[in-house]
Amino acid sequence: MMSYQMLQSFRAVILTGGSSGIGKSFIEHVGKLHPALVFFNLSRRPPEIKVPGLILRHFDCDLSNRAQIEAVCGELVGEIDREIPAGRILLINNSGFGTYGPFPEPNLARQLEMLEVNLCAPVQLTARLLPTLRAHGGAIVNIASTSAFQPTGHMATYGASKAFLLHWSLALSEELRGSGVHVLAVCPGPTSTQFFRSAGLDRSVVPDSVGQTPEEVVETTLHALARRRTMVVSGWKNKLLAALSSRLPKPLAARIAIRVIAHYRGTGGKTNA
């Protein structure tokens, strides 16, 4: 109920990665709750969403390409100026992927691409859209991960990219306090999406009792937004693990995490391209 009321204050959602997983669930769930919302999606594939009457505009954008992001931001700001004269705007930096294996597997180019998508793209998008968000009022949601709470050997670059996103998000939240733009970092744990396959991981190594559905992550996000939280870990088991991990000395947390992650089985991987 509280989430529903909070959503009504928004007029538009700009999100990345609406073509799959958590992003797709977000469009489907929120589109049903608030059919008048206008969605702007940035990803390489268009979202296939079956919600009658949904207003969705897709921008083809490879978020590892800064020039493409720059061009799309120009179009996006122009479109919002023309079509959304008033009303709060929600920006969701959701696109991201991981890789599994000892650094730099699968290869250096893939590691650098991951940093572009997981970390540089949210920074660039947020910077370019911030004047619009300030003018309209609104919120920024950054999809981090429970990987942000400890160093993650065998997923070293991925975990560090999410630690960056979490700290950056919390710092931004303080800078923007009182500005009319609320910032929230969401930390999901293992969630049943394409994430595992694209990281070259076998999803079955994560017991179902631990994993969440993307819909549960979306619900958590909406609740946290309504409560004006600045950070939320999705699911009580993940909350517990994140709290424990944060309290350990970092070298010890790293020692434990690499052993846990080493149990993941590689599937040979599917590149996200």
Ligand X SMILES: NC(=O)c1ccc[n+]([C@@H]2O[C@H](COP(=O)([O-])OP(=O)(O)OC[C@H]3O[C@@H](n4cnc5c(N)ncnc54)[C@H](OP(=O)(O)O)[C@@H]3O)[C@@H](O)[C@H]2O)c1
Max CA distance (Å), the chain: 53
Rule CB under 6 A: say whether 95 interacts with ligand X.
yes
Separation of alpha carbons 70 and 88, rounded Å: 22
By CB under 6 A, the residues from 169 to 198 that bind ligand X are 188, 190-191, 193-195, 198
Our finding on whether 152 is near ligand X (CB under 6 A) is no
Structure tokens at 10: 């928004």
Strands of the sheet containing 38-43, edge to edge, are 55-60, 38-43, 10-16, 88-93, 138-143, 181-187, 231-233
With binding defined as CB under 6 A, does residue 20 bind ligand X?
yes
State which residue has the least CB distance to ligand X. Answer: 21
Stretch that binds ligand X, among 4-12, 30-38, 89-97, 219-227 (CB under 6 A): 89-97
Task: Answer whether 233's CB lies under 8 Å from 242's CB.
Answer: yes
Structure tokens at 11: 């007029």
Site for ligand X in 222-241 (CB under 6 A): none
Closest to ligand X by CB, 134 or 229: 229
Q: Does 126 bind ligand X (CB under 6 A)?
A: no
Cβ neighbourhood burial of 194 (10 Å; 0-12, 13-18, 19+)? middle
Cβ neighbours of residue 26 closer than 8 Å, sequence gap 6 or more: 13, 15, 18, 92, 94, 218, 221
- Least distance in angstroms from the C-beta of 178 to ligand X: 28
Q: Is 43 in the site for ligand X (CB under 6 A)?
A: yes
Contact 270/200 with Cβ under 8 angstroms?
yes
Q: Applying CB under 6 A, does 22 fall inside the site for ligand X?
A: yes
Which stretch, 19-27, 127-135, 175-183, 247-255, contacts ligand X (CB under 6 A)?
19-27
CA–chain centroid gap for 267, Å, is 24
- Cβ at position 86, least distance to ligand X in Å: 29
100 contacts ligand X (rule: CB under 6 A): no
Residue with tokens 């179902």: 208
Closer by beta carbon to ligand X, 18 or else 138: 18
220 binds ligand X, rule: CB under 6 A: no
Work out whether 272 is an interface residue with ligand X (CB under 6 A). yes
Q: Which of 145, 150, 238, 245 binds ligand X (CB under 6 A)?
A: 145
In angstroms, the CA 127 to CA 106 distance is: 31
Residue 44 as a binder of ligand X (CB under 6 A): the answer is yes
Q: Is 117 in the site for ligand X (CB under 6 A)?
A: yes
How many CB atoms are closer than 10 A to CB 112?
13
- Give the Cα separation of 140 and 182 in Å (integer): 6
Is 164 a residue that touches ligand X (CB under 6 A)?
A: no
- Contact between 19 and ligand X by CB under 6 A: the answer reads yes
Of all helices (H) and strands (E), which one includes residue 117? none
- Given the rule CB under 6 A, which residues bind ligand X? 16-17, 19-23, 43-45, 61-64, 94-97, 117, 143, 145, 188, 190-191, 193-195, 198, 272
